[in-house]
Amino acid sequence: MKYVEQIKSFALLLLILLSLALTFTIWTFTPTHDTIEPSTTVDEPIAETKNTEEVVRPVKLLFHNKDEATGTIEQDNIQTLIDALELWEIQDVRVVQEEAPPDTLESYMHSSNRAVIYYPGLVPFPVFDSITNIVDTAIPESSFDRIVIEWEAPANDRPALYFINTLSGRIYKAAIPAEDLRQFQAEILSEAAEYEQYVTNDKIGELPIYVQEGEFEGESVNYYVDDTSTSLFAEALLDSPELGLSADLTTQEYMDDTGAFIRENSGTKSISYIQPKAETTDPAIPSDLLFDSFGYINAHGGWTDKYFYAGMNSVTQQIKYQLYVADLPVFSTTTTTSLDITWGSDSGEEQAYSYIRPMYQLDYELEKRTAVLASGKNVLNALGQLDDQDLSAVTDITPAYKLTRSEGNSVMIFEPAWYFRINGVWTELTSELTGGSILGLE
């Protein structure tokens, strides 16, 4: 009992010391917060959101039947095949060639009784699986830019699909049920017989490049455009944006406390978003890069016009979505015509490092004229005679729209023209070289 008072005194002293320590901690505490990136989901998206199938699209079909080839670039025709493909049970996906040479790739793609589905960029299998029905439990993290449908398989073999990466030479084979193939033969092949005749030129490309043999009939269109304000993108992409001046004091830009900023580029009718903290040298998983960038654009409703996935560089984490009008890609030397994203991370948080995109949106047509371009046969001949080009490096040839602007910038002029691609760069094949074009009012 004689120690009770001493114990009480010691406990009281201990409580006083703890109270003083806690008070000091509260007074001197400076909170540290993990960097939390603002959500880019807005209450009212700038434009409608889209699903993956609407953006990751084939842009050409080719059908080899005996000694002739037919094809189409019309999205209505392509959709008919995609609708069928989505219902197929694709199974037993496996590698059959790791680094096939060009002649082997040509044999797989361009033998008789085969259809080729062309994508403008490499499509990762997990992305394709999100659109179609691969029944395998394990989906490879590999990519392809061609699908080949073999519609007359050997009697002792199951109907097959081939997924081909024309850059690496890797070939995957998959099986489909016989009843799915019979549907394709009954519904698709009969229509394909009515498509345009397609031809190629052996001098051009490491792999055959097919274009329609006859003249291309399209339309020249003038559009009135409506600009989306930079402030609207700033509200969607920045955290509490503030208006200020760029470092050179010549351009207005929006910025936030994280260091991110958005700048308007009036010369190219575009905006640029940069988050300097997210710069990275790490490569991306291809499917993650496509899903993440697609979700990023969807979150703020960035699909202001029709954009198709056009390709990626997973090593540099760059991805492109190209503007399309009337089923044709749009190119310009003066105006931005694509959504270009470089992905990165900051403190482990995956996010956009840079985002460059058009600020304009096509509003309505002002004038439309018929336009007839030179035949694909003449285009191949003209391209084959160019002495200043490495013809083996050509990877694609297509009709496209050349975009120019009126003096007031409120009207955009879309003129069809032939383009070819070398080393990822699209170049116009002028009408002087191809034999001219014919325009008429409509």
Q: Which residues of 374-394 are buried (b: 16+ CB within 10 A; e: fewer)?
A: bbbbbbbbbbeeeeeeebeeb
Among 15-29, 219-233, 347-361, the least confident range: 15-29
Mean pLDDT value across residues 278-307: 94
Q: Looking at the predicted structure, is the pLDDT value of residue 257 above 70?
A: yes
| 313 and 298 Cβ atoms separated by less than 8 Å | no
25 pLDDT band (50/70/90 cuts)?
Answer: very low
CA distance 196 to 344: 44
Q: What is the pLDDT of residue 324?
A: 98
| 207 and 201 Cβ atoms separated by less than 8 Å | no
Mean pLDDT value across residues 426-434: 87
Higher pLDDT, 406 or 374: 374
Q: What is the pLDDT of residue 436?
A: 58
Q: What is the pLDDT of residue 30?
A: 32
| 287 and 141 Cβ atoms separated by less than 8 Å | yes
Mean pLDDT value across residues 73-98: 95
Distance spanning both ends of the chain, measured CA to CA? 111
CA distance 125 to 138: 10
Cα angle 263, 266, 270 (rounded to 5 degrees) comes to 60
34 pLDDT band (50/70/90 cuts)?
Answer: very low
Q: What is the pLDDT of residue 392?
A: 93
The distance between the two most distant Cα atoms of the chain, rounded to a whole number of Å, is 116
CA distance 262 to 246: 10
Q: In this predicted model, what pLDDT tens digit does every residue of 294-337 receive, in sequence order? A: 999 999 999 999 999 999 999 999 999 999 999 999 999 999 99
